[in-house]
Structure 1
């Protein structure tokens, strides 16, 4: 597997806001450049046979207007598709609806995978967890993609193996460093440093089952 510190440093993270019809929303953007071409990366993020190799098993109709469901996670509707540049969808989990847009961006000999997650976050939830509530979850997907693209012929990681790794020393270090990285992004966004660190600590506890 790729070194966790190397992975953390390879990812870009930003936080912003956007005004939607329903009000102000938080915008979390995470991206990483990979050693592959745009057509291949597009296939990696849209082909239901390849998605489980780096993220989760997916079912449904992966076409414009179709409904999808990630196993044990969110589902939604594909709302826009501009092959091989971008795809957008609703992100529905429980009674919460947010929006994601994936962008495939050529970058020299590499291709950048950029994911933007836009969410209306109630003040109480944001005050407790900050951006880590969304950011730490996507960190795992980017980690999975980095490992998959580094060794595409390797056997897929089972959910059981992924959970065991998450609770290992390397896995816990990865989550801690991810939380630290989102803390820095939150501070750059303008959040008080002490508040940002406390929110990150709360998110880390939630993701590692310490709550």
Structure 2
């Protein structure tokens, strides 16, 4: 059973600027702490067998300069790999815009680890999308990463997950709805987005996670 409120509140969320290979970028950042040593969290984020138990089955060469592909999700290249503290990859969805994901780990005592996940996209593309379609994409992407980090929490606690189907669970969908609302508040604070636009974006993102 998921403690939805505490799981949503466990993450810090923010929007900001971060450089990407092509220049200036816009980013979303999630930060949360896990009750696990840094080596265990690093292993869960970088070993194919473990990634397949909470994120998605993965193929490819999980090494610096190697390419990977998550089943039914993104693929890309490993840009930086500095065990057990830093992993940076390109995050490519088909022919869509090139983006970058960086995972940073730090100790919070001998048995706790702080994880920061930053997803950065070229500024010009993001700004154009926001002008055209509002904040829906950002809220949806953020909510998707919330789900991933929830899955990581379950995995580190020893829960058995089917990474390809567990998001269909009603409790997980309810968590996704709350996470999207949390990102809606961040979007509104950062961009001064109207209540109506935020609510429309949340509704769109929730529909993505709950196709009923």
TM-score range, shorter chain: 0.7 to 0.9
Structure 1 unaligned residues grouped into runs of 5+: none
Q: Does 1:125 align with 2:129?
A: yes
Contact 1:56 1:71 in 2 (8 A): yes
Q: CA deviation at 1:80?
A: 0.7
Contact 1:15 1:186 in 2 (8 A): yes
Q: Over aligned residue pairs, what C-alpha RMSD do you find?
A: 2.0
Contact 1:2 1:147 in 2 (8 A): no
Match of 1:207 among 195, 202, 209: 209
> Matches of 1:172 and 1:69 in 2, distance apart?
25
Q: Does 1:146 align with 2:147?
A: no
Contact 1:130 1:200 in 2 (8 A): no
Match of 2:116 among 90, 114, 117: 114
Q: CA deviation at 1:58?
A: 0.7
Bigger fraction of residues in strand: 1
TM-score of the pair, normalised by structure 1? 0.87
Runs of 4+ in 1 over 3 A off after TM superposition: 18-24, 121-125
> Matches of 1:186 and 1:7 in 2, distance apart?
20
Q: Could you tell which deviates more after superposition, 95-104 or 170-179?
A: 170-179
Match of 1:181 in 2: 182
Q: Could you tell which deviates more after superposition, 109-118 or 182-191?
A: 182-191
Contact 1:130 1:196 in 2 (8 A): no
Match of 1:79 in 2: 79
> Matches of 2:163 and 2:200 in 1, distance apart?
33
Match of 1:61 in 2: 61
> Matches of 2:172 and 2:161 in 1, distance apart?
17
Q: Does 1:156 align with 2:133?
A: no
Structure 2 unaligned residues grouped into runs of 5+: none
Match of 1:99 in 2: 100
Match of 2:26 in 1: 26
The number of residue pairs the alignment matches comes to 204
